Amino acid sequence: MDRMQVLADKGEEYIAELGFEPAFTVTIEYAPTEMFHSPRGDRIFRRIDGGSISGRITGTVYPDGGGEYSQRREDAVIDIDAHVLLRDDSEQGEWLYLRNIGYRRPDGYYRVTSWVDADVRGQHDWVLGLFFIGVGVPAEDGRSMTISYYEVT
Amino acid sequence: MMDRRDVLRGGAVAGATALAARAATAAAQDTPTDAPIKDINGLRHRWAFSVSVFFKERITIESPYRRAFVPAIGGDIWGPRLSGRVVPYGGADFGGGGGPLDAHYMFQADDGHYIYINNRGYMRRIGADPADGVRRDVGPVNPDGSFSQEFRSGSNDETPLRMRTSPFFDAPVNSPHAWMNSTLFIGHGLRMVDPDRTIFTYYEVL
């Protein structure tokens, strides 16, 4: 197979290292799940009822408007797509927007790539433009999900 | 309304077809590899493959977000879990000229299967204000409205960049690459020149 290449690029020195720094943990509480069949699979709607964030950001999950709009595929994997609004516990209550996309597999694997929008004038501007990796663990009763986020450095 | 436990049970309620699909998905995740598993602060990951993507021309639209069009003219894929090539002119980076990447192009594995990649990411000058992203300034606008299309991101030696990407793949379901459809990846980009290219290192998040 013809390919464009520079053989030196395959040196071990070019296998770049990444770092993962614990950033924050978000517990998201959900209302009962709604699901319907769409042309591309089962659309799963989980309205967000509340929750909390702890770690480098502390505050609460805004209960009125966020949700998870995921899709279960034919291979039983769920494509996660969640939009979460957060408010920190400072006096002024800064708003943050968290977006999660990733996979939930039948074997328990729940991983998301996430990014956060925050006020450029606020105390959380360090999150801007970064990627976070989230590892999710559901509560036993299925009513909430706790996601540990790592900043990709 | 359904109980969420019904949702979590997944394909179990859909019968044998779904069960078979689940088994196939699980089997796909078990593709053997010699790459060592790394654990950083509890996050387990391993090198899946690397990709060099070659570039030649760049086209910028002086839109509010300075849309940049950078075709992938070819490239190479190597590593423990995938080997192949970047399909020449099979797509491009359509990201904003201010830094965000949003590339759509195609891989072709050594066994002939095509794999679609959507590579989203960011480039940040190290030490810069994160709100600024990376400035890839466009030249002055000429009286006729045209402007120079000459711009490039320098090599990592010239312009230390923190380039991270979060690629998502579509691979054929009945292929050895199906595991890529349900695995989260995180990538590192390294700018190189002469020839103009970026080396991406992709890790699968375990």
The sign one gets for the Cα dihedral A115, A120, A125, A129 is positive
Decide if A136 is inside a domain: yes
Query: Does A138 map to a domain?
Result: yes
CB–CB of B45/B186 below 8 Å? yes
pLDDT class of B123 with cuts at 50, 70, 90: confident
Q: Which of B107, B103, B100, B113 is closest to B70 using CA atoms? A: B103
Give chain B's mean pLDDT: 79
Helix (H/G/I), strand (E/B), else coil: B77: strand
pLDDT bin (cut points 50, 70, 90) of residue B103 is very high
Is the four-CA dihedral B183, A135, A113, B199 of positive or negative sign? negative
Residue A106 lies in a domain: yes
Measured in residues, chain B has a length of 206
Chain B residue numbers with beta carbons less than 8 Å from the beta carbon of A120 are 131
Tell which B residues from 103 to 142 touch A, by Cβ distance under 8 Å. Answer: 108, 110, 121-122, 124, 130-131, 133
pLDDT of residue B30: 60
pLDDT on residue B43: 96
> Residue A52: inside a domain, yes or no?
yes
Residue A29 is predicted with a pLDDT of 97
Q: How far apart are CA B187 and CA B203, in angstroms?
A: 6
In chain B, residues with a C-beta closer than 8 Å to the C-beta of A113 are 166, 184, 186
Tens of pLDDT, residues A72-81: 999 999 999 9
CB B87 within 8 A of CB B106: yes
Residue A4 to residue B76, Cβ atoms within 8 A: yes
R_g over Cα of chain B: 20
Give Dmax (Cα) for chain B. 68
| Within-domain flag for A93 | yes
Tokens of B204: 């699968």
CATH 3.30.465.10 is held by the domain B38-205: no
Q: Residue B184 is nearest to which of A30, A32, A102, comparing CB atoms? A: A102
Burial of A22 (0-12, 13-18, 19+ CB in 10 A): middle
Look up residue B174 and give its DSSP letter.
T
Q: Is residue A16 part of a domain?
A: no
Beta bridge partners of B121: B101, B165
Answering whether pTM is above 0.90, one says no
**In Å, how far is A67's CA from the nearest CA of chain B?**
14
For residue A43, is it within any domain? yes
What is the structure's pLDDT at B63? 72
Closest by Cα among A34, A64, A53, A69 to A116: A53
Contact B192, B201 (CB under 8 A): no
Closest-CA residue of chain A to B133: A129
- Quick: pLDDT tens for A95-127: 999 999 999 999 999 999 999 999 888 899 899
List pLDDT tens digits, range B20-50: 666 666 666 666 677 899 999 999 999 999 9
- Chain centre to alpha carbon of residue B183: 13
Cα distance between residue B25 and residue B29, in whole Å? 6
Please report the pLDDT score of residue B12 as a whole number. Answer: 41
Chain B residues within 8 A of A129 when measuring between CB atoms: 99, 122, 124, 130-131, 133
What is the band of B4 on the pLDDT scale with cuts at 50, 70, 90?
A: very low
Max Cα separation, chain A? 61
> How would you classify the pairing of strands A59-61 and B114-125?
unpaired
Check whether the bond before B130 is cis (ω within 30° of 0): no
Q: Is residue A91 part of a domain?
A: yes
* Domain positions in chain B: 38-205
Q: Which residue range forms the structural domain that includes residue A72?
A: 27-152
Name which of B114, B48, B102 is nearest B72 in CA terms.
B102
Mutate to test the interface with A, among B1, B3, B4, B101 (most CBs of A within 10 A): B4
Give me the number of domains chain A comprises.
1
CATH number for the domain including A44? 2.40.160.20
Cα–Cα distance measured from residue A29 to residue A52, given in angstroms and rounded to the nearest whole number: 9
Distance CA(B139)–CA(A104), nearest Å, equals 46
Instruction: Return the half-sphere exposure (C-beta side, CA atoms, 13 A cut-off) of residue A129.
Output: 22
Nearest-angstrom CA–CA distance, B81 and B48: 5
Closest Cβ opposite residue B21 in set A14, A33, A74: A74
Q: Residue B161: CA atoms inside 13 Å, Cβ hemisphere, count?
A: 26
Could you say which residues from 30 to 89 on chain B have a Cβ atom under 8 Å away from some Cβ of chain A? 40-43, 45, 47, 50, 52, 54, 73-76, 78, 84-86, 88
Burial of B188 (0-12, 13-18, 19+ CB in 10 A): buried
Stretch A33-49: mean pLDDT, rounded?
94
How far is Cα B74 from Cα A5, in angstroms, rounded to an integer? 8
Structure ipTM: 0.93
